[in-house]
Structure 1
Amino acid sequence: MITDPSALNAGGLRSQWLAGYQPQLRISEIGKLAAIGDGIAWIEGLPSAAMDQILRFENGSEALVFHLGSKRIGAILLGQEEGLAAGAAAHLTGRRLDIGVGDGFLGRVVDPLGNPLDGGPQPKFTRRRALEVPSPPITARDFVRRPLLSGSKMVDTMIPIGKGQRQLIIGDAGTGKSSLAMDTIIAQKGRDVLCVYVLISQKRSAVVATIETLRQAGVLDISCVVVAEATTTPGLKFLAPFAGCALAEEWMWGGRDVLVVYDDLTTHARAYRELSLLLRRPPGREAYPGDIFYLHARLLERSTCLASRYGSGSMTALPIVETEQGEIAAYIPTNLISITDGQIYLDPALYARGFLPAIDITRSVSRIGGKAQLPAIKAEAGRMKLDFLQFLELEVFTRFGSRLEAGVDAKIQRGRLLRELLKQERLAPLSPEQHLAWLVAYNEGAFDALAGEAVQGRLARLLHQAAAGGPGLAAGRDAWRDAVAGWLQEACDEPPA
């Protein structure tokens, strides 16, 4: 039956509509915009409004219901058209907030509502997905068994990450947290892993630099960047990680592997605190609302590895959190540590000494990734990690200037060599074969007689040889030992540059 008379001609169609018209009582709620400011709208009326429901104002602006009061409801402005002012009529739409999803978002930069920010057309999508949905049930989850390679020597050998894991990156400002996450995304090139990078309350210069780095590394076409700039409203900053998670979930439920980076959840928590205070919610510890833990728990719990009957897809989360003066026991960091499956701690003291990436292995842990580590790397890394931990304990004695036993001094020298080997430049992720090559060379003592720049030179040539080809990860240790010995001999025979 045709119900819209405005779409009909003045002839027979109008008479057809009149013939089918049935008089009946029609009731609709109309609210009134009472106040607006700081990205928040207060609406009177609309007694049937529900949480997370979208409202539409008479000028086309939309808002998301976020607070239900006895006399007013508070809403987050999603889009503010010109002319929106107090007194405007508001209507319920019956819709919940969702975002377009699909492969059309690969290579694109969008805002939390899915609108393009890169100057291109609207991304093509076949369906839409709600920003907030329940996390997968326990019956749909599987054990973490497959490694997600980061390309970092320290991470892949001592703090491994598995597909479906939630690994926190934590440290002070300026210690390289975003760089480590960027390297991990670059390491996914050619590994059939899609990436979502969520930038929350970042400066435009930082956003542009991030996008350009991904483009130059050749991984922007397998990535989607969700941006909520520092100048945007707290409501859009709050929605940004949920939008990125919705995009990643679509690929995960489609049987694909996804890596999502939340950079960072400290600013996300501050945006949520600002939003809650604007909505006059009761403040709690450090003025954060009482549900701040639930906010991040319901976000990160959506990252998992699905069982085979659900497609075996996975979503690996790398949330980033910032500490102040190394205070790892602060409110938001401890919340996230308790939610995630491990953390990578970047120490400002190591960063100041030039040890990059500045990962403090004594405060970092992966509670799951070791079960997904490649067997060949796991076997070699076990010996190396023990040497490094012993060295960190023994190095304390060198500060007193006392004479050490020969065995202790040898361990310290070997530990210093290992620390030199673990240094790594930005944007230079290694393959598993390269990891295995330098691990075998170290465990066989191939670098013991070298020091300083000679170590880095020999290591660079070894990694170049390993990248060109090797026995393969399935080969035995003897095959790798022979291959590494041959590569090192070739490096020794080369004339110095």
Structure 2
Amino acid sequence: MNGDDAAARRPANLLTRQQDWLEHYRPQVRITEQGRLVSVGDGIAWVSGLPTAAIDDVLLFADGSRGLVFDLNQELIGAILLQATDALTAGTRVHLSPTPLSIPVGDALLGRVIDPLGNPLDGEGFPDSSRWQRLEHRSPAIVERDFVHRPLYTGIKVIDTLIPVGHGQRQLLIGDEGLGRSALALDTVINQRGQQTLCVYVLIGQKRSTVVDTINLLRDHGALEYTTVVVAEASALPGLQHLAPFAGCAIAECWMRTGHHTLVIYDDLSTHAKTYRELSLLLRRPPGREAYPGDIFSVHARLLERATCLEPALGGGSMTALPIVETRLGEIAAYIPTNLISITDGQIYLDAELFAGGFRPAIDIGKSVSRIGGRAQHASIKQEAGRMKLDYLQFLELELFTRFGARLEASMEKSIRRGRVLREILKQERLSPVSIEFQLAWMLAFNDGLLDDLPPAGVASILQQLERRTAESGLTLDDGRERWSSAVGSWLKTEDGTAP
């Protein structure tokens, strides 16, 4: 239909809508409330009037600004601003919105960069979505949940083998700043290519340069096509920074309810907790430990409990959450980290000493744990991983004795040699995820003793050869151990018929 036809149809459409309105009109007493803005500043608005206002109601200001009811007093309403214009001043009229705070959801958001209200930040138009989802929603009931039974592969050797993650799990990424927490999350998102997993990456209070680098990295690796990026950068209103993780959760939750597997990254919840503390103090709420409000635990629990695996009757979808939290000087027992550790199903801890020593990713296996991911591991991977974590921790203890020049038995020297080889195997550069079939191949080679006499310096070249041969073989995890072991042994044979 051309422009002239569209213009000709507008009066007819308007007349139809008016007739429909008249047909359904019912005379009745209508009461509307009107409030007044008392004061505004630092992202907080104090409003008088509106006696029926409730927590999480949306406020519409006469100048076009929007707010969210966050605190109720006897005389005033405390609201956080979601949109603010320069014309917002004391005395501005305020009304309650008839609709709750929602965000557009659905496949139209794939590849898009939006703010927590659904507004586009990528220069494209508003997402063409017919579905809207409330930011606040109850978590699935116990009877709606299923056991975690499907692995989520990150492409990172040390995680997929020793600290596995399953679809529907909540796994915390914890460590000091600059140790690669976000790099692990980005590697995981990139590795979901072709895995039928939709991703949501939430950036909370990050610098604009960090936001741009993250988006460009996802685009360069082809991950943006199955990812939605929700951004509330450092210059955004505190209210938007507070709502950012809930917006990302709502987007992923919609896909989960339609039977998809989803992954949502919260980068990071330390900044989110500080923002919530700032808003609470501005609203004159009583401070608790470290000046955080007493309900900070319930805020994060309300968010993370929505990540789960639904039972088949509800579509069998899942939402996996990887929240990121920052520690100071490795203090894992700080307030916010301990809160999140108690909410999640395990944590991946990054250590500064390992990072300085050149072990990347700098994951401390002793302090990292996955409480339910092992149940989702493929039987072949679980069998080979077996006691590998325990053996590696024992190697780290034995290695301490070598620093004092202590004499060791032959069996201990062999354990130390194997441990050093394993440590070299577990090293991995960022943005280089590997297939799960290759991970099974190197575990078989290690467990069968094919790498025992290999010097640590020669591990990298052998792994490259093994990865190439694994990709060419077409073997899958369901092929028996005997077939895999025979293939790996033949791949690693040298010209004289011996292992390298």
Query: What is the TM-score when the length of structure 2 is the normalising length?
Result: 0.93
The alpha-carbon deviation at position 94 of structure 1 amounts to: 2.5
Using a 3 Å threshold, how does the CA distance of structure 1 residues 339 and 492 change in structure 2: closer, same or farther? farther
CA–CA distance in 2 between the matches of 1:305 and 1:404?
49
1:487 aligns with 2:491: yes
CA–CA distance in 1 between the matches of 2:27 and 2:178?
68
- What is aligned with 1:445? 449
CA–CA distance in 2 between the matches of 1:424 and 1:233?
38
CA–CA distance in 1 between the matches of 2:199 and 2:341?
23
1:342 aligns with 2:343: no
The alpha-carbon deviation at position 84 of structure 1 amounts to: 1.4
The alpha-carbon deviation at position 79 of structure 1 amounts to: 1.1
What is the identity percentage for the equivalent residue pairs of Structure 1 and Structure 2? 61
SS in 2 for 1:179: helix
Using a 3 Å threshold, how does the CA distance of structure 1 residues 36 and 379 change in structure 2: closer, same or farther? same
Structure 1: runs of 5 or more not aligned: 1-6
SS in 1 for 2:154: coil
**Which among 157, 161, 171 is matched to residue 167 of structure 1?**
171
The alpha-carbon deviation at position 43 of structure 1 amounts to: 0.5
The alpha-carbon deviation at position 453 of structure 1 amounts to: 3.1
- What is aligned with 2:47? 43
Using a 3 Å threshold, how does the CA distance of structure 1 residues 235 and 481 change in structure 2: closer, same or farther? same
- What is aligned with 1:138? 142
Structure 2: runs of 5 or more not aligned: 1-10
CA–CA distance in 1 between the matches of 2:495 and 2:48?
77
The alpha-carbon deviation at position 385 of structure 1 amounts to: 2.5
Matches within 5 A, 1:218-257: 218-257=222-261
**Which among 405, 415, 425 is matched to residue 401 of structure 1?**
405
CA–CA distance in 2 between the matches of 1:187 and 1:345?
20
Using a 3 Å threshold, how does the CA distance of structure 1 residues 359 and 24 change in structure 2: closer, same or farther? closer
Equivalent residue letter for 1:213: L
The alpha-carbon deviation at position 456 of structure 1 amounts to: 0.6
**Alignment check: 8 A CA contact 2:420 2:456 kept:** no
Which stretches of structure 1, 4 residues or more, deviate above 6 A after TM superposition?
Answer: 17-24, 490-493
The alpha-carbon deviation at position 449 of structure 1 amounts to: 2.1
- What is aligned with 1:195? 199
- What is aligned with 1:3? none
CA–CA distance in 2 between the matches of 1:66 and 1:481?
61
CA–CA distance in 2 between the matches of 1:422 and 1:24?
72
SS in 2 for 1:33: strand
CA–CA distance in 2 between the matches of 1:438 and 1:241?
38
RMSD: 2.3
CA–CA distance in 2 between the matches of 1:203 and 1:20?
51
Using a 3 Å threshold, how does the CA distance of structure 1 residues 484 and 27 change in structure 2: closer, same or farther? same
The alpha-carbon deviation at position 491 of structure 1 amounts to: 9.1
CA–CA distance in 2 between the matches of 1:287 and 1:333?
15
**Alignment check: 8 A CA contact 1:33 1:42 kept:** yes
The answer to which of 188-197 and 461-470 deviates more is 461-470
**Which among 87, 107, 118 is matched to residue 83 of structure 1?**
87
SS in 2 for 1:90: strand
Equivalent residue letter for 2:282: L
Instruction: String of CA shifts for 1:62-105, please: whole Å, max 9, x gaps.
Output: 11111111111011111113411111110112321110000010
Residues paired across the two proteins, number:
484
Equivalent residue letter for 1:99: I
Instruction: String of CA shifts for 1:202-222, please: whole Å, max 9, x gaps.
Output: 011111111111111111100
SS in 1 for 2:424: helix
CA–CA distance in 2 between the matches of 1:192 and 1:105?
16
Query: What is the TM-score when the length of structure 1 is the normalising length?
Result: 0.93
**Which among 148, 154, 159 is matched to residue 158 of structure 2?**
154
The alpha-carbon deviation at position 19 of structure 1 amounts to: 13
CA–CA distance in 1 between the matches of 2:135 and 2:192?
25
Using a 3 Å threshold, how does the CA distance of structure 1 residues 481 and 19 change in structure 2: closer, same or farther? closer
SS in 1 for 2:94: strand
1:333 aligns with 2:316: no
1:352 aligns with 2:391: no
Using a 3 Å threshold, how does the CA distance of structure 1 residues 314 and 490 change in structure 2: closer, same or farther? farther
Equivalent residue letter for 2:425: L
**Which among 264, 268, 273 is matched to residue 272 of structure 2?**
268
- What is aligned with 2:465? 461
1:288 aligns with 2:292: yes
Using a 3 Å threshold, how does the CA distance of structure 1 residues 462 and 46 change in structure 2: closer, same or farther? same
The alpha-carbon deviation at position 430 of structure 1 amounts to: 1.2
The alpha-carbon deviation at position 393 of structure 1 amounts to: 1.9
